[in-house]
Copies of this chain bind each other. A is one copy, B any other.
Amino acid sequence: MQKHQATIKEIAAKLGVSASTVSRALQNDPRIGLRTRNRVIETARALHYVPNGAAAQLRRHRTRMIGVVLPSLREEFFSMAITSIEDVLDAQEYTVLMGQSRDKADRERHIVLSFIRSRVDGVIASLAADTTDYAHFAELREFGIPVVFFDRVPPDFPAHRVRCNITDGVLKAMRYLADRGIRQIALLNGPDNLDIAKERLTGFLQASAELNLEVFPHFIKSVDLTEADTQAKMQELCANSPLPQAIVAFNDYVALDAMQWCKRNGIVPNQDIVFVSFANLPITTYMDNPPAASIEQFAGRMGHSAASILLQALNFSNAEEMPFQEMMFDTELRVH
Protein backbone atom coordinates (compact mmCIF):
# COMPACT_ATOMS: atom_id res chain seq x y z
CA MET A 1 0.00 0.00 0.00
CA GLN A 2 2.37 2.66 -1.24
CA LYS A 3 0.96 6.12 -0.63
CA HIS A 4 2.39 9.22 -2.17
CA GLN A 5 5.59 10.53 -0.65
CA ALA A 6 6.50 14.17 -0.99
CA THR A 7 9.86 15.11 -2.51
CA ILE A 8 11.87 18.30 -2.56
CA LYS A 9 10.88 18.69 -6.19
CA GLU A 10 7.23 18.97 -5.31
CA ILE A 11 7.94 21.45 -2.57
CA ALA A 12 10.01 23.40 -5.07
CA ALA A 13 7.24 23.34 -7.68
CA LYS A 14 4.64 24.42 -5.16
CA LEU A 15 6.78 27.37 -4.16
CA GLY A 16 8.08 28.27 -7.59
CA VAL A 17 11.71 27.83 -6.55
CA SER A 18 14.31 25.25 -7.51
CA ALA A 19 14.95 21.94 -5.85
CA SER A 20 18.39 23.04 -4.69
CA THR A 21 16.91 25.96 -2.85
CA VAL A 22 14.61 23.64 -1.00
CA SER A 23 17.45 21.26 -0.26
CA ARG A 24 19.55 24.09 1.10
CA ALA A 25 16.76 25.64 3.10
CA LEU A 26 16.09 22.31 4.75
CA GLN A 27 19.73 21.99 5.74
CA ASN A 28 19.91 25.50 7.13
CA ASP A 29 22.38 26.59 4.51
CA PRO A 30 23.23 30.18 5.53
CA ARG A 31 22.94 31.36 1.94
CA ILE A 32 19.17 30.97 1.90
CA GLY A 33 17.08 33.93 2.98
CA LEU A 34 15.07 33.66 6.13
CA ARG A 35 11.76 34.23 4.40
CA THR A 36 12.35 31.59 1.76
CA ARG A 37 13.59 29.17 4.33
CA ASN A 38 10.51 29.57 6.44
CA ARG A 39 8.20 29.12 3.51
CA VAL A 40 10.06 25.96 2.55
CA ILE A 41 9.96 24.53 6.05
CA GLU A 42 6.29 25.32 6.30
CA THR A 43 5.21 23.59 3.11
CA ALA A 44 7.57 20.71 3.84
CA ARG A 45 5.66 20.13 7.02
CA ALA A 46 2.34 20.59 5.29
CA LEU A 47 3.21 17.94 2.73
CA HIS A 48 4.52 15.57 5.42
CA TYR A 49 7.90 15.68 3.79
CA VAL A 50 10.50 13.35 5.28
CA PRO A 51 13.84 13.22 3.45
CA ASN A 52 14.68 10.02 1.66
CA GLY A 53 17.83 8.81 3.37
CA ALA A 54 18.78 6.54 0.51
CA ALA A 55 18.88 9.33 -2.02
CA ALA A 56 20.93 11.48 0.31
CA GLN A 57 23.40 8.73 0.95
CA LEU A 58 23.84 8.08 -2.73
CA ARG A 59 25.18 11.58 -3.13
CA ARG A 60 26.94 12.08 0.14
CA HIS A 61 28.57 8.70 0.55
CA ARG A 62 27.76 8.90 4.22
CA THR A 63 24.74 7.67 6.10
CA ARG A 64 25.33 8.91 9.62
CA MET A 65 24.36 5.44 10.72
CA ILE A 66 26.42 3.22 13.01
CA GLY A 67 25.96 -0.52 13.29
CA VAL A 68 26.30 -2.26 16.63
CA VAL A 69 26.56 -6.07 16.87
CA LEU A 70 26.35 -7.68 20.26
CA PRO A 71 25.86 -11.23 21.48
CA SER A 72 22.63 -10.38 23.24
CA LEU A 73 20.54 -7.41 24.19
CA ARG A 74 19.12 -9.40 27.02
CA GLU A 75 22.22 -9.50 29.16
CA GLU A 76 22.37 -6.40 31.26
CA PHE A 77 26.06 -6.00 30.54
CA PHE A 78 25.30 -5.42 26.88
CA SER A 79 22.09 -3.50 27.29
CA MET A 80 23.95 -1.09 29.55
CA ALA A 81 26.74 -0.79 27.02
CA ILE A 82 24.36 -0.13 24.14
CA THR A 83 22.62 2.55 26.12
CA SER A 84 25.90 4.42 26.62
CA ILE A 85 26.74 3.94 22.99
CA GLU A 86 23.39 5.42 21.98
CA ASP A 87 23.89 8.39 24.25
CA VAL A 88 27.23 9.26 22.71
CA LEU A 89 26.16 8.72 19.12
CA ASP A 90 22.73 10.33 19.43
CA ALA A 91 24.39 13.50 20.63
CA GLN A 92 26.26 13.65 17.32
CA GLU A 93 23.11 12.93 15.34
CA TYR A 94 24.09 9.41 14.41
CA THR A 95 21.48 6.70 14.13
CA VAL A 96 22.28 3.37 15.73
CA LEU A 97 21.42 0.08 14.07
CA MET A 98 21.53 -2.85 16.44
CA GLY A 99 21.80 -6.53 15.80
CA GLN A 100 22.10 -9.40 18.23
CA SER A 101 24.24 -12.34 17.20
CA ARG A 102 22.88 -14.52 19.99
CA ASP A 103 26.38 -15.88 20.24
CA LYS A 104 26.17 -17.40 16.77
CA ALA A 105 28.97 -16.54 14.37
CA ASP A 106 26.68 -17.05 11.43
CA ARG A 107 24.14 -14.54 12.64
CA GLU A 108 26.96 -12.15 13.38
CA ARG A 109 28.17 -12.48 9.80
CA HIS A 110 24.74 -11.79 8.36
CA ILE A 111 24.30 -8.75 10.54
CA VAL A 112 27.66 -7.30 9.56
CA LEU A 113 26.89 -7.87 5.89
CA SER A 114 23.56 -6.11 6.25
CA PHE A 115 25.44 -3.22 7.85
CA ILE A 116 27.67 -3.08 4.79
CA ARG A 117 24.67 -3.12 2.50
CA SER A 118 23.27 -0.20 4.46
CA ARG A 119 26.67 1.45 4.17
CA VAL A 120 26.93 2.35 7.82
CA ASP A 121 29.69 4.82 8.60
CA GLY A 122 31.14 2.69 11.37
CA VAL A 123 30.66 -0.46 13.44
CA ILE A 124 30.95 -1.31 17.12
CA ALA A 125 31.14 -4.99 17.96
CA SER A 126 31.47 -7.50 20.73
CA LEU A 127 32.11 -11.01 19.46
CA ALA A 128 29.78 -14.00 19.49
CA ALA A 129 30.87 -16.93 21.66
CA ASP A 130 31.80 -19.11 18.72
CA THR A 131 33.29 -16.61 16.28
CA THR A 132 36.66 -17.84 15.09
CA ASP A 133 36.59 -16.53 11.54
CA TYR A 134 36.84 -12.77 11.17
CA ALA A 135 36.29 -12.50 7.44
CA HIS A 136 33.14 -10.41 7.87
CA PHE A 137 35.07 -7.88 9.89
CA ALA A 138 37.87 -7.92 7.35
CA GLU A 139 35.19 -7.10 4.80
CA LEU A 140 34.39 -3.95 6.73
CA ARG A 141 38.00 -2.91 6.35
CA GLU A 142 37.76 -3.41 2.60
CA PHE A 143 35.01 -0.86 2.64
CA GLY A 144 36.97 1.50 4.81
CA ILE A 145 34.39 1.18 7.56
CA PRO A 146 36.10 1.60 10.93
CA VAL A 147 35.39 -0.98 13.62
CA VAL A 148 35.73 -0.73 17.36
CA PHE A 149 35.59 -3.91 19.41
CA PHE A 150 34.75 -3.86 23.06
CA ASP A 151 34.90 -6.44 25.81
CA ARG A 152 34.85 -9.47 23.56
CA VAL A 153 37.67 -8.50 21.23
CA PRO A 154 39.29 -10.77 18.64
CA PRO A 155 42.92 -11.78 18.99
CA ASP A 156 45.26 -10.49 16.30
CA PHE A 157 42.76 -8.48 14.34
CA PRO A 158 43.68 -4.97 13.28
CA ALA A 159 41.07 -2.74 14.90
CA HIS A 160 40.41 -0.46 17.83
CA ARG A 161 39.75 -2.24 21.09
CA VAL A 162 38.20 -1.31 24.39
CA ARG A 163 38.46 -3.83 27.17
CA CYS A 164 39.18 -4.22 30.78
CA ASN A 165 42.02 -5.70 32.67
CA ILE A 166 40.57 -9.13 33.19
CA THR A 167 43.80 -10.75 34.29
CA ASP A 168 44.12 -8.28 37.08
CA GLY A 169 40.44 -8.70 37.92
CA VAL A 170 40.90 -12.42 38.47
CA LEU A 171 43.87 -11.63 40.65
CA LYS A 172 41.73 -9.36 42.78
CA ALA A 173 39.06 -12.04 43.06
CA MET A 174 41.54 -14.73 44.05
CA ARG A 175 43.25 -12.53 46.62
CA TYR A 176 39.86 -11.75 48.12
CA LEU A 177 39.15 -15.45 48.45
CA ALA A 178 42.62 -16.29 49.71
CA ASP A 179 42.33 -13.60 52.36
CA ARG A 180 39.30 -15.43 53.65
CA GLY A 181 41.34 -18.61 53.93
CA ILE A 182 39.99 -20.24 50.80
CA ARG A 183 42.68 -22.13 48.93
CA GLN A 184 40.86 -24.53 46.62
CA ILE A 185 39.51 -22.38 43.87
CA ALA A 186 38.04 -23.50 40.55
CA LEU A 187 37.57 -21.53 37.33
CA LEU A 188 34.33 -21.82 35.39
CA ASN A 189 35.52 -20.08 32.27
CA GLY A 190 33.91 -19.00 28.98
CA PRO A 191 34.61 -20.18 25.40
CA ASP A 192 38.31 -20.76 24.74
CA ASN A 193 38.35 -18.72 21.55
CA LEU A 194 37.52 -15.50 23.36
CA ASP A 195 40.47 -13.42 24.46
CA ILE A 196 38.65 -12.47 27.61
CA ALA A 197 38.41 -16.15 28.50
CA LYS A 198 42.11 -16.71 27.86
CA GLU A 199 42.88 -13.78 30.10
CA ARG A 200 40.80 -15.20 32.89
CA LEU A 201 42.82 -18.39 32.61
CA THR A 202 46.09 -16.47 32.59
CA GLY A 203 45.01 -14.51 35.63
CA PHE A 204 43.89 -17.69 37.33
CA LEU A 205 47.22 -19.40 36.81
CA GLN A 206 49.21 -16.32 37.80
CA ALA A 207 47.19 -15.84 40.94
CA SER A 208 47.48 -19.52 41.83
CA ALA A 209 51.26 -19.24 41.56
CA GLU A 210 51.40 -16.00 43.48
CA LEU A 211 49.22 -17.31 46.27
CA ASN A 212 50.77 -20.77 46.29
CA LEU A 213 47.50 -22.49 45.50
CA GLU A 214 47.43 -26.01 44.16
CA VAL A 215 45.86 -26.16 40.70
CA PHE A 216 43.81 -29.30 40.25
CA PRO A 217 43.27 -30.13 36.58
CA HIS A 218 39.54 -30.68 37.03
CA PHE A 219 39.25 -27.21 38.55
CA ILE A 220 39.44 -25.58 35.15
CA LYS A 221 36.36 -25.80 32.94
CA SER A 222 35.10 -23.88 29.92
CA VAL A 223 31.42 -23.43 29.18
CA ASP A 224 29.74 -22.25 25.98
CA LEU A 225 27.54 -19.86 27.97
CA THR A 226 24.39 -21.93 27.64
CA GLU A 227 22.66 -22.99 30.83
CA ALA A 228 22.84 -26.65 29.88
CA ASP A 229 26.58 -26.60 29.39
CA THR A 230 27.15 -24.83 32.67
CA GLN A 231 25.13 -27.51 34.45
CA ALA A 232 27.12 -30.22 32.70
CA LYS A 233 30.46 -28.70 33.62
CA MET A 234 29.38 -28.27 37.22
CA GLN A 235 28.55 -31.94 37.25
CA GLU A 236 32.05 -32.77 36.03
CA LEU A 237 33.63 -30.31 38.39
CA CYS A 238 31.93 -31.75 41.41
CA ALA A 239 32.28 -35.40 40.42
CA ASN A 240 35.98 -35.40 41.31
CA SER A 241 37.61 -34.64 44.59
CA PRO A 242 38.50 -32.37 46.06
CA LEU A 243 35.42 -30.24 45.79
CA PRO A 244 36.30 -26.58 45.23
CA GLN A 245 35.71 -24.21 48.12
CA ALA A 246 35.14 -21.38 45.68
CA ILE A 247 34.40 -20.88 42.02
CA VAL A 248 35.39 -17.92 39.88
CA ALA A 249 32.76 -17.73 37.12
CA PHE A 250 33.05 -16.20 33.65
CA ASN A 251 30.18 -13.83 34.36
CA ASP A 252 27.11 -13.38 36.53
CA TYR A 253 24.88 -15.51 34.33
CA VAL A 254 27.25 -18.44 34.42
CA ALA A 255 27.54 -18.01 38.17
CA LEU A 256 23.76 -17.95 38.58
CA ASP A 257 23.32 -21.08 36.47
CA ALA A 258 26.03 -22.80 38.48
CA MET A 259 24.40 -21.73 41.72
CA GLN A 260 21.10 -23.15 40.51
CA TRP A 261 22.82 -26.45 39.91
CA CYS A 262 24.24 -26.37 43.42
CA LYS A 263 20.82 -25.79 44.96
CA ARG A 264 19.42 -28.74 43.05
CA ASN A 265 22.29 -30.92 44.23
CA GLY A 266 22.31 -30.20 47.92
CA ILE A 267 25.16 -27.73 47.85
CA VAL A 268 24.55 -24.36 49.45
CA PRO A 269 25.96 -21.56 47.27
CA ASN A 270 28.29 -19.10 48.99
CA GLN A 271 28.42 -21.40 51.99
CA ASP A 272 29.64 -24.74 50.68
CA ILE A 273 31.04 -23.11 47.59
CA VAL A 274 31.71 -19.38 47.44
CA PHE A 275 30.97 -17.77 44.10
CA VAL A 276 32.76 -14.81 42.61
CA SER A 277 31.87 -13.62 39.13
CA PHE A 278 32.31 -10.90 36.56
CA ALA A 279 30.07 -8.03 35.51
CA ASN A 280 28.27 -7.03 38.69
CA LEU A 281 24.92 -6.68 37.05
CA PRO A 282 22.19 -4.53 38.62
CA ILE A 283 19.75 -7.40 38.51
CA THR A 284 21.75 -9.19 41.19
CA THR A 285 20.78 -6.48 43.67
CA TYR A 286 17.28 -7.95 43.66
CA MET A 287 18.62 -11.30 44.78
CA ASP A 288 18.81 -12.44 48.36
CA ASN A 289 21.83 -14.61 47.65
CA PRO A 290 23.82 -13.26 44.70
CA PRO A 291 27.44 -14.23 44.02
CA ALA A 292 29.47 -13.28 47.08
CA ALA A 293 31.46 -10.82 45.04
CA SER A 294 31.64 -9.66 41.46
CA ILE A 295 34.26 -7.91 39.38
CA GLU A 296 32.79 -4.66 38.10
CA GLN A 297 33.52 -4.27 34.41
CA PHE A 298 31.97 -0.88 33.79
CA ALA A 299 29.81 -1.76 30.82
CA GLY A 300 28.65 1.82 30.53
CA ARG A 301 32.14 3.26 30.43
CA MET A 302 33.29 0.72 27.90
CA GLY A 303 30.36 1.51 25.64
CA HIS A 304 31.03 5.20 26.04
CA SER A 305 34.69 4.82 25.12
CA ALA A 306 34.00 2.54 22.20
CA ALA A 307 31.59 5.10 20.75
CA SER A 308 33.98 7.98 21.37
CA ILE A 309 36.85 6.21 19.67
CA LEU A 310 34.61 5.46 16.73
CA LEU A 311 33.67 9.12 16.45
CA GLN A 312 37.34 10.06 16.44
CA ALA A 313 38.00 7.54 13.71
CA LEU A 314 35.13 8.97 11.68
CA ASN A 315 36.42 12.49 12.01
CA PHE A 316 39.96 11.50 11.19
CA SER A 317 41.57 12.55 7.97
CA ASN A 318 39.68 10.64 5.36
CA ALA A 319 42.86 9.99 3.45
CA GLU A 320 44.18 7.47 5.94
CA GLU A 321 43.13 5.28 8.78
CA MET A 322 43.43 6.36 12.38
CA PRO A 323 46.08 4.38 14.27
CA PHE A 324 44.42 1.63 16.25
CA GLN A 325 43.55 2.60 19.78
CA GLU A 326 43.80 0.15 22.62
CA MET A 327 41.95 1.18 25.73
CA MET A 328 42.13 -0.78 28.94
CA PHE A 329 39.97 -0.22 32.02
CA ASP A 330 40.83 -1.31 35.50
CA THR A 331 38.34 -3.54 37.23
CA GLU A 332 37.06 -3.29 40.78
CA LEU A 333 35.98 -5.97 43.16
CA ARG A 334 32.52 -5.48 44.64
CA VAL A 335 31.64 -7.53 47.69
CA HIS A 336 27.93 -8.17 48.12
Contacts and interface: CB of A to CB of B under 8 A. Distances in A.
A322 B52 CA distance: 25
Which of A48, A96, A113, A286 has the most CB atoms of chain B within a 10 A radius of its CB? A286
Contacts of A3: 142-144
Contacts of A321: 1
Contacts of A35: none
Contact of A97 (B97, B139, B143, B289): B97
Contact of A289 (B63, B98, B113, B288): B288
Which of A72, A117, A259, A260 has the most CB atoms of chain B within a 10 A radius of its CB? A117
Contacts of A322: 1
A73 interface: yes
B143 A318 contact: no
Given A142-B3, A144-B3, A58 B58 contact: yes
A286 to B, nearest CB: 5
Interface in A228-266: 256, 259-260
A2 interface: yes
B142 A114 contact: no
Contacts of A118: 53-54, 95
Contact of A119 (B53, B58, B83): B53
A82 interface: yes
A52 B2 contact: no
Contacts of A5: 143
Interface residues of A, number: 59
Contacts of A1: 144, 146, 313, 316-322
Given A97-B97, A283-B283, A51 B316 contact: no
A274 B96 CA distance: 42
Nearest to A102: B83
A180 interface: no
Interface string A179-191: 0000000000000
Contacts of A318: 1-2
A312 to B, nearest CB: 12
Contact of A113 (B50, B144, B285): B50
The 9 A-B pairs with the shortest beta carbon distances in the complex, nearest first, are: A3-B144, A54-B54, A74-B79, A73-B73, A53-B117, A54-B57, A48-B142, A50-B116, A288-B288
5 contacts: A1-B322, A2-B144, A53-B118, A54-B119, A86-B100
Interface of A: 1-3, 5, 48, 50-55, 57-58, 61, 63, 72-74, 76, 79-80, 82-83, 86, 95-100, 102, 113-114, 116-119, 139, 142-144, 146, 256, 259-260, 283, 285-289, 313, 316-322
Given A1-B317, A54-B58, 15 more contacts: A1-B144, A1-B316, A1-B319, A1-B320, A53-B54, A53-B119, A54-B54, A58-B58, A79-B79, A82-B100, A95-B114, A95-B118, A97-B98, A287-B287, A287-B288
